[in-house]
Chains A and B, each alone.
Chain A
Amino acid sequence: MNKSAKIQSQKNGANSQTLQTMRKVEPYIWLLPSIILMCCMIMIPIVNVFRASVTEITKVGVYKEFNGLANYASILKEQTFWNTLQNTLIWTVVVVGVSTVFGFILALVLNVEFKGRKFVRALIVFPWATALIIQSVVWKYIINADYGALNALLYNLGIIDKYVNWTATPGAFFAWECFIGIFVTIPFVTFCVLSGLQSIDTSLYEACDMDGANFFQKLFKVTLPLVMPSLTVSTVLNIIYVFNSFPIVWTISKGDPADQTHTLVTYLYDLSFSNGKFGEAAAVSVIGFVILAVCASIYMIMTLRAERED
């Protein structure tokens, strides 16, 4: 190490100044391709959306003039928007909450050794790997009231004596959408927690056993604190993904009946690409950013505080 430093400093000698500026600039050159790609494909659309949200836009997408907060005002007047906002919160909290709890339990079970564990682990990958749109279409067929697979299954097993309309109300539609959301989100939580569990030193549990700790004491005093980092990562990412998730709701109900089952993303898609209200749709996008940004900053503050405590 010392030797190489000496050689380098000798080499540098006269033009050390240019070398130093080179060294300062170098990291940015390495970052450049990535920065260009993300700026062009993500930053420009973000700026575009903010601009669109304060612009009057015709149905065919021609930008007229700056109209201040008129788009926001017209959105906030819509009852559908408030319904949608409520749905989005329920959707995010229910899907992330239930799949986190269930995914965690599943990870605990899969951390126990049993025959066929590898097989089950492989199986759990399936819902994660399958395209959401395909998963949604299959479930749409399963819950169909007239010829759906679930009705056929339950009827043939003798559990129901006539076909049931599983999606009779908007609430029922939405509940199924939440179920599918949970179904596809669990694997990610399970794998994150499993990776955390596998890094726990088993001697910790042996020490607990010697002290006579019971199952729940071990769970809350040892396991949970140690898998917390993995659980945090999976929860934060899931909040973002589930909040922004489009194919499930779009395939199962398209926000219908009567716009009762929209979440923010299907609502803004419907506004812009079905109704040509681009300005209002952009306003909904911005409101969505703000909500996520608030969540993200809460998360940041919490992690910073936790780090300070360490």
Chain B
Amino acid sequence: MNTRSKNPWKRIFLYLFVFAVCVVILYPYFVMFTTAVKSNEEMYSTTAGILPKEWKLNNLIDVWTQAPILKYMLNSIIVAGGATILAILCGIPAAYALSRMRFKGKGFFMGAVIMSQMFSPVVLLVGISRMMSAIGLKDSLLGLILLNAAFNQAFAIWLLRGTFTSISSEMEQAAKIDGCGTVQALIRILLPMAAPGIITTLIFVFINSWNEYTIALTLISTDALKPITVGINVFYGFNMIQWQYLFATSIYATIPVIILFLCIEKHLVAGLTSGGVKG
């Protein structure tokens, strides 16, 4: 617990531990990369080495023509982007009311928001798919946008409320005295000050929706509407799995998300836990 331990044995033990952790974490990514550039024969070889014998870097380019990967990616961008915008547009006013106003049922609403976390889309799938077919959104990107936005609403409100609460309302009050309306005060004063928190929320909802698998798997049947998480199943045939293309696609689907995540990691965790403590 000392921020700096001086005992050399402790140091060595620490580095060994950290090294082991790094190796285990990186292993699946190592497998993903090395398998993505293997030839089909080597893939199923029972005498393979740790590294590919022949590096077929072409796989990483060929994969784009093997399946409509670009289409899947675009679908993912539409779904995740749409869900993010919707979740934020609904979340900002709600978080604003929760952090700046007193009203009856505030506690109840907060409780309901937290409870909504308990109902994951998977357990509701029977109800969701019935409702979506009833309103004709079963096999559509709009349906995925609405669902992803709704199931991320709790997190969006949680993170945004935490950000708004941490900003003093004095500036807004001053603006109101100067004749600024509530909405104007929110847009001109609070939102710019809350920008880091809002960006964190945006990215977090985007990643969640990008990575979502189960709803899309159940609702989408048209190939041209599949997001990337479901689309990669094309390489997953009944008797033949094209692992190299599966992993090449996975690389493309993973890298942008990891980069985005690294940008917000610090803010995100602070937001999650502070929201919880002060609940």
Checking B90, B124, B153, B218 against A46 with a beta-carbon cut-off of 8 angstroms, the contacting residue is B124
Q: Which 9 A-B pairs have the closest CB atoms?
A: A48-B127, A41-B150, A45-B127, A244-B120, A233-B276, A30-B97, A129-B261, A34-B94, A131-B211
* Residue-wise interface mask of B (194-221) relative to A, using a CB-CB cutoff of 8 A (1 in contact, 0 not): 0000000000000100110110001000
In the complex, A16→B171 CA distance in Å?
25
- Is there a chain A Cβ closer than 8 Å to B28's Cβ? yes
* Residue-wise interface mask of A (71-111) relative to B, using a CB-CB cutoff of 8 A (1 in contact, 0 not): 00000000000000000000000000000000000101101
Contact A244 B122 (CB under 8 A): yes
Q: A48-B131, A269-B125 are in contact. Are A42 and B93 (CB under 8 A)?
A: no
In the complex, A100→B150 CA distance in Å?
28
Q: A123-B25, A147-B43 are in contact. Are A111 and B246 (CB under 8 A)?
A: no
Q: A27-B101, A289-B123 are in contact. Are A133 and B261 (CB under 8 A)?
A: no
Closest chain B residue, CB of each to CB of A208? B1
A47: min CB distance to chain B, Å:
7
* Residue-wise interface mask of B (121-133) relative to A, using a CB-CB cutoff of 8 A (1 in contact, 0 not): 0111111101100
Q: What's the dominant secondary structure at chain B's contact region?
A: helix
- A: contact size bracket: 35 or more
Contact A232 B124 (CB under 8 A): no
- In the bound complex, residues from chain B placing their C-beta under 8 Å from that of A240 are 117-118, 120
B5: min CB distance to chain A, Å:
6
Q: How many residue-residue contacts, CB under 8 A, span A and B? A: 270
Closest chain A residue, CB of each to CB of B279? A303
- Is there a chain A Cβ closer than 8 Å to B86's Cβ? yes
Closest chain A residue, CB of each to CB of B268? A191
In the complex, A205→B146 CA distance in Å?
49
- In the bound complex, residues from chain A placing their C-beta under 8 Å from that of B115 are 296
Closest chain B residue, CB of each to CB of A121? B265
Q: A44-B131, A142-B31, A215-B1 are in contact. Are A37 and B150 (CB under 8 A)?
A: yes
* Residue-wise interface mask of A (227-252) relative to B, using a CB-CB cutoff of 8 A (1 in contact, 0 not): 00110111001001100101100000
Chain A interfacial positions (CB closer than 8 Å to B): 4, 7, 24, 26-28, 30-38, 40-42, 44-49, 52, 61, 106, 108-109, 111-114, 116, 120-135, 137-139, 141-142, 146-147, 149, 152-153, 156-157, 163, 183, 191-192, 194-196, 202, 205, 215, 218-219, 222-223, 229-230, 232-234, 237, 240-241, 244, 246-247, 264-265, 268-269, 272-273, 278, 281-282, 285, 288-289, 292-293, 296
In the complex, A106→B25 CA distance in Å?
13
Closest chain A residue, CB of each to CB of B247? A138
Contact B49 A233 (CB under 8 A): no
- Is there a chain A Cβ closer than 8 Å to B116's Cβ? yes
Contact B97 A195 (CB under 8 A): no
A298: min CB distance to chain B, Å:
13
- In the bound complex, residues from chain A placing their C-beta under 8 Å from that of B236 are 137
Q: A112-B4, A114-B15, A139-B28 are in contact. Are A272 and B247 (CB under 8 A)?
A: no
In the complex, A282→B122 CA distance in Å?
11
- In the bound complex, residues from chain A placing their C-beta under 8 Å from that of B34 are 149
- In the bound complex, residues from chain B placing their C-beta under 8 Å from that of A32 are 93
Contact A129 B25 (CB under 8 A): no
Contact A111 B3 (CB under 8 A): yes
Q: A195-B270, A232-B276, A281-B126 are in contact. Are A202 and B18 (CB under 8 A)?
A: no
* Residue-wise interface mask of B (232-271) relative to A, using a CB-CB cutoff of 8 A (1 in contact, 0 not): 1000100000010011001001100110111001001110
In the complex, A183→B253 CA distance in Å?
20
Checking A116, A222, A288 against B123 with a beta-carbon cut-off of 8 angstroms, the contacting residue is A288
Contact A247 B96 (CB under 8 A): no
Contact A141 B177 (CB under 8 A): no
